Chains A and B, each alone.
Chain A
Amino acid sequence: MKITIQDIAPGEEEEIIVRCRELDEALLRMIHGLKTRRGKFTVADNDKIRQIDAVDIYYFEAVDNKVFLYLEKDVFETRYKLYAIEDEYANTDFFRASKSVIINLAKVKQFAPDFGGRFEAQMRNGERLIISRQYVPALKKRLGM
C-alpha cells in the first residue's frame, strides 16, 4: 500500500483520503482508530474549558441525566449525551456496556465473571464496571468471537 504525506499550508484543514478498491476490516479499523485518536471532548474544568482526547477516556457514565467522563483519576461532566457518543464512536474502542455506561475497550485490563451471566470489566485504573448480559453478545461480536 502506498502512503503519501503532503505538507499543508498553516490554517488549512488536515485531511485524510483513503483510496481503495474495497473497505476491508483492517482499513475500517484503522479509520475508526484514527477517529478515536483525534476525537476530543470539551469539558468544563472549574472555570476553564478543557479539551480531552478520546484516547485518554476510560469510560462515560450517565447519572441523573448528566453524563460524566472518567479519566485515569479525574472526572468531568460533559454536555454530550450517551447515545450521541455511542453513535459518533460506533466501531471504535468505545463500547456500550450497560444502559448507563460506555467503556473504552483499550482501557480494560481484563474481564471477570459476575452474577447472572454478566461480566465485570476491570479497568486499568482499578475501577470495576458491569457489562450487562444484554450487551454481552455485542461485546463478543466486537472482539471477534
Chain B
Amino acid sequence: MKESIKKRVIELLLTFCMVTTGSVFVCAVYNRVFWSGDTFLDAAILWQLLAMAFVCSLGNFIHPYREVSRRREVFNKGLHYVYINVVVLGCGYGFGWMDIENIFMLAAMMLGILVVFVTVSFVIWRLHERETENLNRKLREYQQAAGCASEQ
C-alpha cells in the first residue's frame, strides 16, 4: 500500500478510536446530567455513537496530504472544528439525544464537542512530539555517522 494512503488510514483509525472513547465519556456525563432518573437507554445509541465517531473521523480528510501554507492549515483546523459541530449537533438532533429548544442541552453538547476536540488534538500533538524526539535521536546518529556533528 502506498505510504501516504497507509498513513492516512492509520490516522483515520486512531482518530476514530479516540473520538469514540471521548464520545462515550461525554455521553455518560450528558445522560447523568440531562436524562438521569429512570431513563433506559436504547441499545441503538451504541451504533449511533460509532456512526457519529466514524463520520467525525472523516473530517481528517479536510486536511489535504499535499503541501499547504500555515495560514491554510489553521483555516482547515477551524473548518474541521465546524464540521465536527455540524455532525455531532446533527446527530444529536436526528437521533433525538437532545431537545433542540433546551439551550442548556445545546450548550452542554457544544462543550462536550470542544472537550473531545481539544483532548484528541492534544493527544495527536503529543504523539507528534514523540515522533519528533525519535527523529532528533536518529538525526544525531546520522550526523555522528557522517562525521558532521563536530562541524559546528
**A109-120 vs B, Cβ < 8 Å mask (1 yes, 0 no):** 011111111110
Is B28 part of the binding interface, using a Cβ–Cβ cutoff of 8 Å?
A: no
With both chains docked as a complex, state the minimum distance between the C-beta of A92 and any C-beta of chain B, in angstroms.
Answer: 10
In Å, the complex CA distance between A118 and B125 comes to: 11
Q: Which residue of B lies closest to A92 (CB)?
A: B146
Contact B135 A145 (CB under 8 A): yes
Contact B73 A110 (CB under 8 A): no
Interface of A (DSSP majority class)? mixed
Is A144 part of the binding interface, using a Cβ–Cβ cutoff of 8 Å?
A: yes
Contact B132 A144 (CB under 8 A): no
* Count of chain A residues with a beta carbon within 8 Å of a chain B beta carbon: 31
Is B99 part of the binding interface, using a Cβ–Cβ cutoff of 8 Å?
A: no
Contact B67 A116 (CB under 8 A): no
Contact A106 B67 (CB under 8 A): no
9-residue interface stretch from A1-9, A41-49, A78-86, A134-142: A134-142
* Count of chain B residues with a beta carbon within 8 Å of a chain A beta carbon: 32
In Å, the complex CA distance between A114 and B63 comes to: 14
Q: Which residues of B contact A106 (CB under 8 A)?
A: 143, 146, 148, 151
Q: Which residues of B contact A99 (CB under 8 A)?
A: 67
Contact B63 A105 (CB under 8 A): no
Q: Which residue of B lies closest to A140 (CB)?
A: B135
Is B4 part of the binding interface, using a Cβ–Cβ cutoff of 8 Å?
A: yes
In Å, the complex CA distance between A93 and B141 comes to: 13
Given A124-B152, A132-B67, A144-B141, A115 contacting B74 (CB threshold 8 A): yes
Q: Which of the residues A105, A115, A140, A145 comes within 8 Å of B70, measured between beta carbons? A: A115
Is B40 part of the binding interface, using a Cβ–Cβ cutoff of 8 Å?
A: no
**B64-78 vs A, Cβ < 8 Å mask (1 yes, 0 no):** 011110100110110
Contact B3 A137 (CB under 8 A): yes
Name A's B-contacting residues (CB within 8 A): 29, 33, 93, 98-99, 105-108, 110-119, 124, 130, 132-134, 137, 139-140, 142-145
